């Protein structure tokens, strides 16, 4: 049964959505069921591996650190915009950050953290070299960002997730 319907709730939700978007008829019911079943089976083919947590408390600590950093970054970016960027040698630039982790789950979390923090944007990640290309709106020193990502975020993500 799980081979035919690998994600039964997804199939049911897609079928209901199909019926809501079309006028109800037996033909639409059959067609919607076929489309929903095929879509759920296609999703099962591309479904990622299960994520295993080693130490969930590291993610709790990371949550509070990221929250603090986002608030602090909001204030810094607002101050920079209001002042017209008159803070001396600050400028926007790109930073290449070498990462030690290779697991896709913590990398995805790091991408969300960096993107949610005002003034930074995740641009590219090279899987072969493990280098993240980051754009920083208010850059003072490249090494500061390399240390921040490595010690503040990556270390907790590596503690939380195996591999």
Domains of the chain, by residue range, sit at: 8-46, 56-160
Q: Long-range contacts of range 31-40, CB-CB < 8 Å, 24 or more positions apart?
A: 36/10, 36/11, 36/12, 37/4, 37/5, 37/11, 39/10, 39/11, 39/14, 40/5, 40/6, 40/7, 40/8, 40/10, 40/11, 40/14
Q: In tens digits, what is the pLDDT along the chain, a chain of 163 residues?
A: 566 778 888 889 999 999 999 988 999 999 999 999 998 888 888 877 788 888 999 999 999 999 999 999 888 888 877 877 665 566 788 989 999 998 888 999 999 999 888 888 888 999 999 999 998 887 777 788 888 888 889 999 999 998 6
pLDDT given for residue 90 in this prediction: 64
pLDDT given for residue 78 in this prediction: 84
pLDDT given for residue 2 in this prediction: 62
pLDDT given for residue 132 in this prediction: 92
pTM greater than the 0.75 cutoff: no
pLDDT given for residue 7 in this prediction: 81
pLDDT given for residue 89 in this prediction: 60
Mind listing the pLDDT tens digit for each residue in 93-132? 898 999 999 888 899 999 999 988 888 888 899 999 999 9
pLDDT given for residue 47 in this prediction: 76
**Buried b / exposed e across 23-45, counting CB within 10 Å, b at 16+?**
eeeeeeeeebbeebbebbbeeee
């Amino acid at each position: 049964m799980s081979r035919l319907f690998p994600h039964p709730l997804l199939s049911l939700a897609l079928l209901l959505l199909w019926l809501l978007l079309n006028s109800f008829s037996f033909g639409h019911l059959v067609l919607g069921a076929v489309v929903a079943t095929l879509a759920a089976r296609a999703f099962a083919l591309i479904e990622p591996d299960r994520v295993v947590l080693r130490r969930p408390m590291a993610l709790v600590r990371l949550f509070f650190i990221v929250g603090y950093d986002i608030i602090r970054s909001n204030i810094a970016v607002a101050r920079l915009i209001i002042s017209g960027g008159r803070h001396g040698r600050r400028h926007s630039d790109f930073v290449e950050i070498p990462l030690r982790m290779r697991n896709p789950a913590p990398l995805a979390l790091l991408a969300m953290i960096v993107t949610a923090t005002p003034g930074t944007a995740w641009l590219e990640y090279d899987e072969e070299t493990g280098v993240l290309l980051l754009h920083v709106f208010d850059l003072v020193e490249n090494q500061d960002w390399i240390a921040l990502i490595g010690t503040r975020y990556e270390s907790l993500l590596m503690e939380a997730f195996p591999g």
